[in-house]
Structure 1
Amino acid sequence: MARADRLLRLLTAFRVLPQPVTAARLAAETGVSERTLYRDIEALRAGGALIDGAPGLGYVLTEDPALPPQMFTRIEVEALALGLAEVRQMGDPALARGAKAAMAKITATLPERVQRQAIHAVSHSVRFDPRPPAPAHVGLIREASWEERAIDIRYRDLAGRESERRIWPLSIVWFERALMCLAFCTLRQDFRRFHIARMSEVRLTDDSFRPRRVALLRDYVAMVRG
């Protein structure tokens, strides 16, 4: 098999196989020896492919130089522009910066004609009554959710009673006038929604609940749907 054909087949295997994928599996998929496979992986890396991993650990294709530029329909471009514009008005400075950077990166990968559509989108989002600024600790809650680490909070309920809780943050939910944290409360051993603005203290702990976040979210959705 020609080397170019082998490299193309290897890229295809990376795209379709669950990752990380072992060298043995890649070699079987591409019909080469593992020794040849290692050389082909290095060739792809030299060509610009970002492939993480090593022999014995498995490999992950994290950046594929052979994929074509992003292509969106005109209505998809409008949806992206409108959605990211709305995110920039949600009162969370970190999300606003992320939305601005994401739009710039997306636009940079588009063909010239579609770039112009994105830059001059007809859909806009304007809030004359903007959302209040997000509480300072929303970033810490977001990080705890990403990392699946418990947080300790001091919380004031609707009646003004204060309590201390350890919770597993699962999701941040943006309502029109409230910012909520959906969490599993270790005290009540049940799901709870906490107003983030009523958290006077938030402390990140070393208590990990990985990998239960996705499963707990599925359980919550099933419970809500009854």
Structure 2
Amino acid sequence: MSRTTRLFQLMQALRSLPPPATATRLAALMDVTPRTIYRDIDALRGLGAVIDGASGFGYTLVEDAALPPLSFDDDELEALVFGLREVSEVGDSTLAQAANSALAKLRARLPASQAHRLEHAVLNAVSFRPLPEPGIDAAVLRKATWDEKTIRFEYTDAEDRETSREVDPLSVVFMQASLCLLAWCHLREDFRAFRLDRMRSLELTGASFRPRRVSMLRDCLAKMGESCDAGPAS
């Protein structure tokens, strides 16, 4: 791991851990020695980060020089917190971790007058029933969708019928209490929604449908809007 990468990870750890974060805990998290943490804290302070504390007492990130100043009105802040908390509840594990990381970065840069609004926002998102785990790597699926790459996977529908599908992935959405892929299905020659927990053996075909994803997604959403009872693929 390069020193630059380590310093970046140390900043993120200081944003995320409850203060004060001891050198021992930081060292264990980053798999380095406490002495390395002491040196890296000094380096971050030299780069402009305001970090309170000392060895033996723990460290608190007071001002994060790596992030630009942020300014939100109260409603904007509520919307941001609500959105990120919803992602942490309904997103896959990678997105949930990213949402929590983003909240930590917000917390590091908010003025004291607004900090309590992040911790105690009026709007919240809570899921009392765990979402079904995706049967494929959701991060790989999102990248294929962004890159507009045709994919292939095995799918089990609501009647336990198994098929092999080749689709152009358009968007991952939360609906019907699960994460679903909206896509153009080559088998059905139509738009379909596939539950991620029913997908298996995801692979790239090597084909690309660029640059049609945006227009195809628009058509897909329009069609779904016309048929409110549209369900997962069959």
**TM-score, normalising length: structure 2:** 0.60
SS in structure 2 at match of 1:193: strand
Name the structure 1 match of 2:229.
Answer: none
Contact 2:78 2:118 in 1 (8 A): yes
Give the aligned partner of residue 214 of structure 1.
214
What are the equivalent positions in structure 2 for 1:62-141 lying under 5 Å apart?
A: 69-90=69-90, 92-141=92-141
Report the equivalent of 1:164: 164
Q: Match of 1:201?
A: 201
Flag structure 1 segments of 5+ consecutive residues without an equivalent.
Answer: 1-67
Give the conservation status (yes or no) of the 8 Å contact 2:136–2:202: no
Supply the distance in 2 between the matched residues of 1:156 and 1:178 (Cα, whole angstroms): 15
Distance in 2 of aligned mates of 1:189 and 1:211: 19
Identity of aligned residues (%): 43
Q: Is the 8 A contact 2:180 2:193 kept in 1?
A: yes
Residue 150 of structure 1: CA displacement? 0.8
Moved more, 149-158 or 208-217: 149-158
Q: Report the CA distance between 1:102 and its aligned residue.
A: 1.4
Query: Which ranges of structure 2 fall in alignment gaps of 5 or more residues?
Result: 1-67, 227-234
After superposition, the Cα gap between the structure-2 partners of 1:176 and 1:116, relative to the gap in structure 1 and judged at 3 Å, is same
Distance 1:178 1:124, change over 3 A: closer
Report the Cα offset of residue 74 of structure 1: 1.2
Q: Which moved more, 1:78-87 or 1:108-117?
A: 108-117
Distance in 1 (alpha carbons) for counterparts of 2:138 and 2:83: 20
Whole-angstrom distance in 1 between the partners of 2:225 and 2:127: 32
Q: Distance in 1 between matches of 2:202 and 2:196?
A: 10
Q: Which has the higher contact order (CA 8 A, sep 6+)?
A: 2
**Helix, strand or coil for the counterpart of 1:88?**
helix
Aligned partner of residue 206 in structure 2, secondary structure: strand
1:114 positional shift? 2.4
Match of 2:59 in 1: none
Change beyond 3 A, Cα 1:81–1:220? same
Number of residues paired by the alignment?
Answer: 161
List, as ranges, runs of 4+ consecutive aligned residues in structure 1 with deviation greater than 4 Å: none
Q: Deviation at 1:215?
A: 0.8
Partner of 2:15: none
Once residues 188 and 99 of structure 1 are traced to their aligned partners in structure 2, the CA distance between those partners, rounded to angstroms, is 35
Displacement after TM superposition at 1:181 (Å): 0.9
CA distance in 2, matches of 1:158, 1:130: 19
Cα shift at 1:164? 1.5
Q: CA deviation at 1:212?
A: 0.8
Distance 1:71 1:168 in 2: 39
Partners of 2:121 and 2:159 lie apart in 1 by 46
CA RMSD of aligned residues (A): 2.5
